Structure 1
Amino acid sequence: MRYLPGQPHQLPGNRQQLSDYQAQHFCLEVAAGVATVTLNRPERKNPLTFDSYAELRDLFRAMAYADDIKAVVVTGAGDNFCSGGDVHDIIGPLTKLDMPGLLAFTRMTGDLVKAMRACPQPIVAAIDGICAGAGALLALASDLRYGTARSKTAFLFTRVGLAGCDMGACALLPRVIGQGRAAELLYSGRALGGEEAERWGFLNRLCAPETLQADAQGFALELAQGPNFAHGVTKKMLQQEWNMGVDEAIEAEAQAQAQAICMATNDFHRAYHAFVAKQKPVFEGD
């Protein structure tokens, strides 16, 4: 990338390309500005391991500096999304760890959710089949969720003797589906079917299994072709305004934290000139 004076977001060393990144513990493909992260252990319903947790965390942290990624799709290979932590590779070893080791693990898993929420690109989860435990948190940490009628989402921590407050579930889930419904799922650990998940607002869209990936990719491509800088600001404010009152949020959006910055971007001017010319704007993310 050529550095352009006066554009500090393009300072050398501050930007990178992830299209050539070779993932070790999942699949990563980048095309037309959309990064597709595929959990790729279909024979085990795509469970997570210590290594895949850590690599996913590091990948989403790197997204903040990726010039070639404008939107992300997270999905699973085969007919399932993710069955959670691998029973043999994670659950078994956890029973042998001391308290400092257990705390290091729970902080690492939480850091993955933090990285997903902090990366500026919108994340679309494409959910089919099993979406359980930590897999349900990957879906929840995404910005939007496309699913199928046969999908089964379960925050099943209580089923294995754990609290439902894992990886930010008690903060995120009530904001998506409401406090009462979140409490039911987190206490019971029961599975939420696809049609019910759409009615409850957990799924943004219900798709046919055979079109799920195309539907999710199509929407991610629309996002990638939009005003990417503004999308990043929207995501940041959606996160920050959880802890604000309405008046404070309106002021924050008016100030340089949000809308005033976007009004200074080239994309804002492109949109105006395209409107005057009765054309569709072509956004470039600056």
Structure 2
Amino acid sequence: MNPATHTPEHFLWSFADGVGTVTLNRPEKKNPLTFESYAELRDFFRALVYTPEVKAIILTGEGGNFCSGGDVNEIIGPLTEMDMPQLLEFTRMTGDLVKAIRHCPQPVIAAVDGVCVGAGAILAMASDLRIAAPDAKTAFLFNRVGLAGCDMGACAILPRIIGQGRASELLFFGRSMSAEEGERWGFWNALIEADDLLSEAGKWAARIAAGPTFANGITKTQLNAEWDMGIDQAIEAEAQAQAICMQTEDFRRAYRAFIAKEKPVFEGN
């Protein structure tokens, strides 16, 4: 699969000028996920590792909502009939989607409007940058359906974004987090009016795509890898990573542009 040219079955995809947009597209149900869409999204983000022409990703939803989580009839109902091996196969697959988002080198920008709950909240959480409309409602509502809050990496990733106490509140209560709370807590990077949300996400993505994309991929890799490093190990890892980036043409381009008093034009190599 080449994401740049792939035509997906279970979501919309557009690509231009280095920026790809993934749009969840079941607006009549507020864009829920199914077994099939989980799997296709997982495979799609995995393939981005091998697609350097894609430099940034926008993840959004159609029809004024982001994602209402797992489809009640197409996922939740069948799960109640499965045995343990089947359930574990499903939960590992959903976790693999988060891994794929985190491990693709392209920064992922979630542009969120309206409902963003359950697995939808996880998709926003797994993204690198998050912007939301002022009416966005986000809930990690797993305990409201009799499940633990530890879903798809939530107990590892969410506390790193908003802190242990606030993450505990959302995961134990399953309550909705308002957009204002989310911005104040650091979950949202910015709140943007709904009519301007995709336009602003496009500006952010274009800025990333115009940057040193090889180096941006290294930054994302190190942000992931340094979660469980000691400070000495992290400093050494960054020394090695930066030395690699210093061998790129983009580094030389930036130097030549500085000497010439020009703006550097990066090419990602």
| Distance change in 2, residues 1:280/1:17 (3 Å) | farther
Alignment of 1:35-46 (within 5 A): 35-46=20-31
Measure, in 2, the Cα distance between the counterparts of 1:247 and 1:202.
Answer: 28
Q: Which amino acid aligns with 1:232?
A: G
1:67 to 46, 52, 59: 52
Q: How does 1:78-97 map to 2 (within 5 A)?
A: 78-97=63-82
Aligned to 2:8: 23
Gaps of 5+ in 2: none
- Please say if 1:33 is aligned against 2:18: yes
Which deviations, in whole Å up to 9, do the C-alpha atoms of 1:185-240 show, x marking residues without a partner? 00000000111100000000100010001001110111011000000000000000
2:231 matches 1:262: no
Corresponding residue SS for 2:13: strand
| Aligned partner of 2:100 among 100, 115, 138 | 115
Partner secondary structure for residue 230 of structure 1: helix
Q: Specify the alignment match of 2:260 in structure 1.
A: 277
Query: How many residues are treated as equivalent by the alignment?
Result: 269
For residues 39-54 of structure 1, the aligned pairs below 5 Å read 39-54=24-39
Runs of 5+ in structure 1 lacking a partner? 1-15
1:40·1:77 contact (CA, 8 Å) conserved in 2? yes
Q: Provide the secondary structure at the position in 2 that maps to 1:211.
A: helix
Q: Counterpart of 1:12?
A: none
Alignment of 1:1-286 (within 5 A): 17-255=2-240, 258-286=241-269
Q: Describe the SS at the equivalent of 1:210.
A: helix
For residue 131 of structure 1, report the CA deviation from its aligned partner.
0.3
Cα distance in 2, alignment partners of residues 233 and 146 from structure 1: 23
SS of equivalent to 2:195: coil
SS at match of 1:164: coil
Cα drift, residue 28 of structure 1: 0.6
For 1:161, give the aligned amino acid.
G
Q: Match of 1:207, as an amino acid?
A: I
Partners of 2:2 and 2:47 within 8 A in 1: no
User: For residues 226 and 4 of structure 2, what CA distance do their matches in structure 1 show?
Assistant: 32
* Equivalent residue letter for 1:98: D
What does the per-residue CA deviation read over 1:73-102, in whole Å, with 9 as the maximum and x for residues that have no partner? 000001100000000100000011111000
* 1:67 positional shift: 2.7
The answer for the alignment partner of 1:5 in structure 2 is none
SS of match in other structure, 1:272: helix
Deviations 1:96-138 (A, max 9, x none): 1111000000000000000000000000000000000000000
2: CA distance, partners of 1:209 / 1:225: 25
2:183 & 2:86 partners in 1: Cα distance? 38
Looking at structure 1, the residues matched to 34 and 251 of structure 2 have their Cα atoms a distance apart, in angstroms, of 43
Q: Is the CA contact 2:143–2:171 (under 8 Å) kept in the aligned structure 1?
A: yes
For 1:265 and 1:230, the matched residues in 2 are separated by: 9
Runs of 4+ residues over 6 Å off in structure 1: none
In 2, the alpha carbon distance for the partners of 1:252 and 1:65 equals 23
Kindly state the Cα deviation for residue 248 of structure 1 after the two structures are TM-superposed: 1.5
Instruction: Output the amino acid matched with 1:225.
Output: A
